[in-house]
Structure 1
Amino acid sequence: MIEQIVLGFLMLRSMTLYDIKKGMEKSTEHFSSASFGSLHPTVQRLEKQNLIESQEETVGGRNRKRYTLTDAGKQHFLNWLGQDIELEKVKDNSLLKLFFLGHLPADQAKTLIERYCKHLEQQIALLGLLHDQTEKIQVPESLQRIKDHQVATLEFGKAYYQFAREWYMKKFLENS
């Protein structure tokens, strides 16, 4: 998935590895994250496959590489994007904890669920703030559909966390 994230960001403009990582922190990292340690070999692989190319530049006395999507890279990304959206298993490690939480004393389990619900509240607030900030960004008409789809991921994340919080509250906290 990291390869598709890199290619997707480069569909917008050429970027440095730092630009890609910062872009991810404000968007895709809420549902798919990658470290600098995994991004670096990814761009190297993409460059060897001639899907991206790099250009050395010096800014403020520091050398860095700026990556640009090749025509083959654009086609590769669009081919991937045009495939059916696959149904995936829910990958939420909180469910693994929940599955085994019955092994703990009830009061300890309740405390952990209460703390988890507070973390969910914080994430809901963060995504709400990002959503509001993103909605205010003006983009050219040609990029509006791209922005709309990106904003939709924030809305999905917020709704997902709201559902999880409400479900945990109702299932484990309201009746105890």
Structure 2
Amino acid sequence: MAADGLLQVEAEGSRGRKTYSITTAGRAELHQWLTETKPEQRVRNEGALRAFLIPLLPREEALDLVREELRHVEARLTELEMLCDGTDESDFGRYALERGLRQLAASRDWALWAIDRLQKSEEARTVTARTPTGEL
């Protein structure tokens, strides 16, 4: 981008570290990209594919998988929440941070729902298996 005149070196530090600033041409290009292009909306999400295939696993393995997902999501949520401390809406990246928090919160809610659902379906199968006619 520097070669295209969109960025310029603002300062150089130790070990070749460089700080860049956006040029007038870069700001115009960024504005055009933000306002006139549409982002790619197709997202390939391995987590969503795994969620789709959960019914193929035995209940305990499915529960383990979802519990691990929940642990991961909660840890990441904690990290992002700590980044939020002391930031406000005018801070660079705050909107992206909020988007991440909300997506993770939705993932946490899904994991809690899935765990509850898997546990209830196992409980229902156990109760049904214990009754001679399948009736309660």
- TM-score, with normalisation over the residues of structure 1? 0.55
- The reply on whether 1:95 has 2:37 as its aligned counterpart is no
Compute the displacement of 1:156 (Å). Answer: 2.5
Between the two proteins, the alignment pairs up a number of residues equal to 118
Paired AA for residue 120 in structure 1: V
- Cα distance in 1 for partners of 2:108, 2:17 equals 43
Corresponding residue of 1:173: 115
Q: Does residue 1:153 correspond to 2:96, yes or no? A: yes
Q: 1:129 and 2:82 equivalent? A: yes
Which moves more between the two structures, 126-135 or 104-113?
A: 126-135
- SS in structure 2 at match of 1:48: coil
* Rg (Cα) greater in structure: 2
* Higher RCO structure, 1 or 2 (CA under 8 Å, sep 6+): 1
TM superposition shift of 1:108: 0.7
In structure 2, the gaps of 5 or more residues are 120-136
TM-score of the pair, normalised by structure 2: 0.68
For 2:99 and 2:90, locate their aligned partners in 1 and report how far apart those are by CA, in whole Å.
Answer: 16
Structure 1 gap segments, 5+ residues each: 1-45, 136-144
Deviation digits for residues 68-115 of structure 1 (CA, Å, limit 9, x no counterpart): 322211211111122265471344321121222333222111101011
1:3-52 per-residue CA deviation (whole Å, 9 max, x = no partner) reads xxxxxxxxxxxxxxxxxxxxxxxxxxxxxxxxxxxxxxxxxxx1232222
The partner residue of 2:28 within 75, 97, 100 is 75
Once superposed, what is the RMSD of the aligned Cα atoms? 2.7
Give runs of aligned pairs for residues 27-106 of structure 1, distance below 5 A.
Answer: 46-54=1-9, 57=12, 59=14, 62-83=15-36, 86=39, 88-106=41-59
Aligned to 1:32: none
